[in-house]
Amino acid sequence: MAAGRIRVTVGVCGGIAAYKSVELVRLLQDAGYDPHVVMTKAAEEFVRPLTFAAISGHKVITTLWGEEAGTGSEDDGSGEHSSVEHIQAAQSTKLLIVAPATANMLAKFAHGLADDFLSTMFLATTAPVIVAPAMNVNMWEHAAVQANVATLRARGVRVIEPGSGYLACGMVGGGRLAEPATVAAAVAAALAEGLVAGGDLAGTTVLVTAGGTREPVDPVRFIGNRSSGRMGYAVAEAAKRRGARVILVSAPTGLACPVGVEMVQVVSADEMRRAVMERLKESTVVVMAAAVSDYRVKSVAAQKIKREATKALTLELEATEDILSEVAAARVKGTVVVGFAAETEDAVANGRGKLVRKGVDAVVVNDVSAEGIGFDSAENAGSFLTRDGEVEFPVMSKAAMADRILDEVIKLRG
Ligand code: CTP
């Protein structure tokens, strides 16, 4: 797994909702974590370990004892294949998420029983633990289950409340496993709070710009661009996860601010420029992923331009300031500055031109004319250009690309 990936363990118990954990593991993988899966015997009745092994890329732990331990397509070479495997797994994981957590497993956790891998690992780990219960509504509401949940809460275990709705048993009510996206967000939030001291970007302040700026034409219209902001938000999220203090200067997007990130919202190129320049001194890394408008309307109409009164309209545009060049020129020595170049032709040559012209340390180029990557898509591909080299990024999720960019930034910081 790539450097900087945080190892999390997903414990899967036996319940109809076990299939949702497949999606959870995929979401954690996409978000840049390194998920390892532990299954109970009963869970194997619902989903095959091979499914989790294929998605996580690691063997799946299914039993405490020798031979059978670790079922999957690949041994990850960690040497975890012994009766003390649970101790090694417990020590190397940064978080344990149990989803679905059955009434039986909650009882074992609450009372300290250790008769399978998951319950033994629970006792052996000092990492934060989150449980996402799923069961029949009467079971969930039973005083015994609620008492166990209260005990676990009192000991610091986080509980993701089950949702309401149709249950597999045909009843309607509480007890449904929370949606995988909700569980994945809880994992990210817990890690953002607890892990910042240990990441490979600890001690750095990363300033990220994201989104497409908007230049007003009149009070209701603007000139904008197709940037979704996803790439910049992914960089902000990854930098936070890896221990940095993160400032995200964002033009309008439909995205939620990543947990723990300081967000500064701006609209126009000029507002973005001011927000960035004000915070430049405190930043050790600047990643300019925003699609900044190159032009603004020279005289913005004070009132809405009326169609009846204006049969033909010519807008006079003037150039905006190039924020990236200004940042590169004004930076404190040692600050790493990375720009983006969205190109539709001769991507690498144009990117190299920008690298030199703007005086930055690196440029991430992508060919936005290619189908399925770049603007408004979940995936990206491109090249990371520096003065002395070039690293190719094949098609991957924007979250994965964010980590690759940060890996290269760390090398540049030396
Ligand atoms: N950029 C900037 N300020 C601007 C325009 C762009 O800081 N006014 C930054 C972007 O955030 C990006 C990089 O410069 O990191 C390259 O942006 P791009 O639009 O590809 O380049 P331009 O300089 O606009 O060049 P061109 O339009 O000729 O491709």
User: Of all helices (H) and strands (E), which one includes residue 363?
Assistant: strand 362-367
Which of 208, 322, 338 to mutate to test ligand 1, by most ligand atoms within 8 A of the CB atom?
Answer: 322
pLDDT of residue 170: 67
Lowest mean pLDDT among 111-120, 125-134, 141-150, 161-170: 161-170
The residue that leads in pLDDT, 91 or 182, is 182
Q: Is the dihedral of CA 135, 140, 145, 149 positive or negative?
A: positive
Residue pair 166/205 in contact (Cβ under 8 Å)? The answer is no
Q: Specify whether 257 is catalytic.
A: no
What distance in Å separates the CA atoms of residue 300 and residue 81, rounded to the nearest whole number?
Answer: 68
What distance in Å separates the CA atoms of residue 354 and residue 357, rounded to the nearest whole number?
Answer: 5
The backbone region for 175, taken as left when phi is positive above 0, alpha when psi lies in -120 to 50, beta otherwise, is left
What distance in Å separates the CA atoms of residue 403 and residue 56, rounded to the nearest whole number?
Answer: 17
83-124 pLDDT, tens digit per residue, is 567 678 888 899 999 999 999 999 999 999 999 999 999 999
On the question of a common fold for 7-195 and 205-413, the answer reads yes
pLDDT of residue 155: 81
DSSP code of 43?
G
Neighbours of 52 (CB within 10 A): 30
The residue that leads in pLDDT, 86 or 270, is 270
pLDDT of residue 42: 96
What distance in Å separates the CA atoms of residue 155 and residue 340, rounded to the nearest whole number?
Answer: 46
Which of 354, 360, 375 to mutate to test ligand 1, by most ligand atoms within 8 A of the CB atom?
Answer: 354
pLDDT at 339 over 80: yes
CATH ID of 205-413, from 2.30.40.10, 3.40.50.10300, 3.30.420.10, 2.60.40.10: 3.40.50.10300
Tell me the pTM: 0.67
Cα–Cα nearest to 145, from 103, 206, 88, 110? 103
The protein residue whose alpha carbon is closest to atom 17 in ligand 1 is 341
pLDDT of residue 68: 47
Instruction: Please compute Rg for the chain using Cα positions.
Output: 25
Mean pLDDT to the nearest integer, 304-324: 95
Cα atoms in the 13 Å half-sphere on the side-chain side of 34 = 16
CATH of domain 7-195: 3.40.50.1950
Residues 6+ apart with CB under 8 A from 242: 4, 199, 200, 201, 202, 406
Determine whether the shortest distance from the Cβ of 116 to ligand 1 is under 6 A: no
pLDDT of residue 163: 84
Domain boundaries, the chain: 7-195, 205-413
Determine whether the shortest distance from the Cβ of 324 to ligand 1 is under 6 A: yes
Ligand 1 atom with minimal separation from the 326 CA: 7
pLDDT of residue 2: 46
Ligand 1 atom with minimal separation from the 321 CA: 8
278-301 pLDDT, tens digit per residue, is 999 999 999 999 999 999 999 999
The protein residue whose alpha carbon is closest to atom 20 in ligand 1 is 341
Neighbours of 358 (CB within 10 A): 20
3-class SS at 9?
A: strand
209-245 pLDDT, tens digit per residue, is 999 999 999 999 999 999 999 999 999 989 988 889 9
